[in-house]
Amino acid sequence: MAASETVLRLPLGSLFSSCHLPSFSLNSSPLLSFKPSSSRKRRALRCTNSMARGNTFHSSDCVFNGKKLQSTRCRCQRNDVEENARSTLLPSDGLKSDLDEMPLPVNGSLSSNGSTQSAGTNSIEDEAWDLLRQSIVYYCGSPIGTIAANDPNSTSVLNYDQVFIRDFIPSGIAFLLKGEYDIVRNFILYTLQLQSWEKTMDCHSPGQGLMPASFKVKTVPLDGDDSMTEEVLDPDFGEAAIGRVAPVDSGLWWIILLRAYGKCTGDVSVQERVDVQTGIKMILKLCLADGFDMFPTLLVTDGSCMIDRRMGIHGHPLEIQALFYSALVCAREMLTPEDGSADLIRALNNRLVALSFHIREYYWLDMKKINEIYRYQTEEYSYDAVNKFNIYPDQIPSWLVDFMPNRGGYLIGNLQPAHMDFRFFSLGNVWSIVSSLATNDQSHAILDFVEAKWAELVADMPFKICYPAMEGEEWRIITGSDPKNTPWSYHNGGSWPTLLWQLTVASIKMGRPEIAEKAVELAERRIAIDKWPEYYDTKRARFIGKQARLYQTWSIAGYLVAKLLLANPSAAKFLTSEEDSDLRNAFSCMISANPRRTRGRKKTQQPFIV
């Protein structure tokens, strides 16, 4: 535990909660105070601003549920709100040199020179860095994240003015690779504060450990003193999100970023902090909690990840499983052994083995497997059924029969009783490579598949979020006639430039960076000229998306991460995980015991005990 760290835990009604004070130095420190807001029912993380233009910090109070805790405040007078909004946006020490050159930072504002078009590659990169820096959001003077989109011409902002956890990951990695660590550290520690929040929807609270989808820095009048303002971190756990979807991926990405921070900076003090360890465990407990499920995969509702609208991915979508596996592997690396965590670590190890077996065996699809499904017997009531999930061969969609190349394969989108979602989902597949959820052979086969199907999956702009699009009656029923998710648009077969960074990590990991190089080169032809859209539409990604934001931060950051990694491929290891020998052994024991492989063969003599 870092010496300067303070961890305070307080009861929150019957719920467990905690107030963690990050170990910031005083002059770069945002000041924390917890107290219930009078104007809003739920709590928000507060930093009180008053008095001085120059952001003077005073030792002060941290108030939580009426109890005073030790903290500090930054103060500014009410009539100085405008000026102080700027003065409190001063960069913290670690970022000073780079940020000194920035236009005056205002949370998520685009400066007039931010949209200059570029010709050469370097100027595209330079422009991207300018735009990324302009998207930085400050909380009491410290950078803590990046706004989702900075489109000056957008008429409806919706929640694109917030810091999304998943959207910040490529931003955070770009900053890490650039040696700018403060913003990532702040992001990790502040989102951790939000984890313990009281969150409800119509009197129902989701499990403790959930991380928000996004948060916003608000400047609000100070309770009881109109001459003062305070900054408030206001999280959204899905209770305001369109469709009220819980962001299952947020906590998983948070763990992955935390591990990358430690690997890249060499500073493991953050992950070793007691509050951070508790945060990891809370996420794990939520994910590993027993339910009704027979499968080791995580059961989630539709829209619980990057695809945050109804797209028929409820159940056990691949993206969540890949992130889940990845987060388990990263957490295992970071958890400090202590009394009381043995059960959690045992549960984690068991789940890793079962999950990797399940995905590798039952989600895998290639020509051979399609042929096997095509000849499946159904209604097998037995312990050693080959067609365990009772998949009817008629489910094999007609598009797939011609689409599957002879060489290559991929992990399907979802598996449920009597249902396989045969769509190709990019993020789940590439992250299965990155995390080693897929075997080495499968990882190569996925890249073979991407290469073989380049015209469909990449075409004019990398990378299709899924393939193919749902059309007609299927679209109407499954999306609920969603006008944003029309065929070949947005989540329904749209092309998302941000996915470039994950594709890059995967192709570097497999020693095939030329795949990413080709994709980056394609993106560079248009992305800056098109003003960094959120997504592209049509089968070949020819149009800027119907309702796509421009200056979408994760499109910008995704491009930068891809460039930085291609220039320095060894840095990809901050994000990748290799399969260890324990897992490999466990996997081979399970595979040889699987009836699908052993029917007609002798049973294995060596059961693996976990």
Nearer to ligand GLC, 245 or 447 (CB): 245
**Exposed/middle/buried for 128, CB within 10 Å: 0-12, 13-18, 19+?**
buried
User: Contact region for ligand GLC (CB under 6 A) — 8-16, 89-97, 162-170, 344-352?
Assistant: 162-170
Nearer to ligand GLC, 229 or 250 (CB): 250
The sign of the CA dihedral 512, 518, 521, 522 is negative
**Exposed/middle/buried for 541, CB within 10 Å: 0-12, 13-18, 19+?**
buried
User: Contact region for ligand GLC (CB under 6 A) — 62-70, 160-168, 333-341, 597-605?
Assistant: 160-168
Nearest by Cα to 406 from 452, 348, 442, 354: 452
Nearer to ligand GLC, 167 or 275 (CB): 167
Residue of 45, 95, 132, 148 that binds ligand GLC (CB under 6 A): 148
> Closest separation between CB of residue 308 and ligand GLC, Å?
5
Residue of 139, 164, 168, 488 that binds ligand GLC (CB under 6 A): 164
How far is residue 342's CA from residue 350's CA, in Å, rounded to a whole number? 12
Nearer to ligand GLC, 146 or 196 (CB): 146
**Exposed/middle/buried for 3, CB within 10 Å: 0-12, 13-18, 19+?**
exposed
Query: Where in 40-69 is the site for ligand GLC (CB under 6 A)?
Result: none
Nearer to ligand GLC, 148 or 457 (CB): 148
92: phi then psi, degrees, rounded to nearest 5:
-80, 170
Nearer to ligand GLC, 242 or 342 (CB): 242
Q: Which residue type is seen at 134?
A: Q
Residue of 166, 185, 259, 310 that binds ligand GLC (CB under 6 A): 166
> Closest separation between CB of residue 594 and ligand GLC, Å?
35
516: phi then psi, degrees, rounded to nearest 5:
-65, -40
What is the pattern of x (binds ligand GLC, CB under 6 A) and - over residues 267-306? ---------------------------------------x
Is 167 a binder of ligand GLC (CB under 6 A)?
yes
> Closest separation between CB of residue 171 and ligand GLC, Å?
11
Nearer to ligand GLC, 296 or 303 (CB): 303
CB 242 within 8 A of CB 309: yes
CB 546 within 8 A of CB 553: no
Is 231 a binder of ligand GLC (CB under 6 A)?
no
How far is residue 296's CA from residue 298's CA, in Å, rounded to a whole number? 7
**Bridge partners of 495?**
464, 536
Residue of 127, 180, 182, 308 that binds ligand GLC (CB under 6 A): 308
User: Contact region for ligand GLC (CB under 6 A) — 77-85, 164-172, 260-268, 510-518?
Assistant: 164-172
**Bridge partners of 69?**
62
Nearer to ligand GLC, 148 or 515 (CB): 148
Is 449 a binder of ligand GLC (CB under 6 A)?
no
User: Contact region for ligand GLC (CB under 6 A) — 21-29, 80-88, 161-169, 499-507?
Assistant: 161-169
Secondary structure class of 140 (helix, strand, coil): coil
Nearer to ligand GLC, 88 or 134 (CB): 134
Is 187 a binder of ligand GLC (CB under 6 A)?
no
Please spell the DSSP secondary structure of 173-203, one letter per residue: HHHHHTT--HHHHHHHHHHHHHHT----BTT
Please spell the DSSP secondary structure of 26-47, one letter per residue: GGG----EEE--SSSSS-EEEE
Nearer to ligand GLC, 355 or 557 (CB): 557
Number of Cβ within 10 Å of residue 6's Cβ equals 16
How far is residue 513's CA from residue 519's CA, in Å, rounded to a whole number? 10
Alpha carbon 560 to its chain's center: 17
> What does the binding site for ligand GLC look like in residue numbers (CB under 6 A)?
148, 164, 166-167, 306, 308
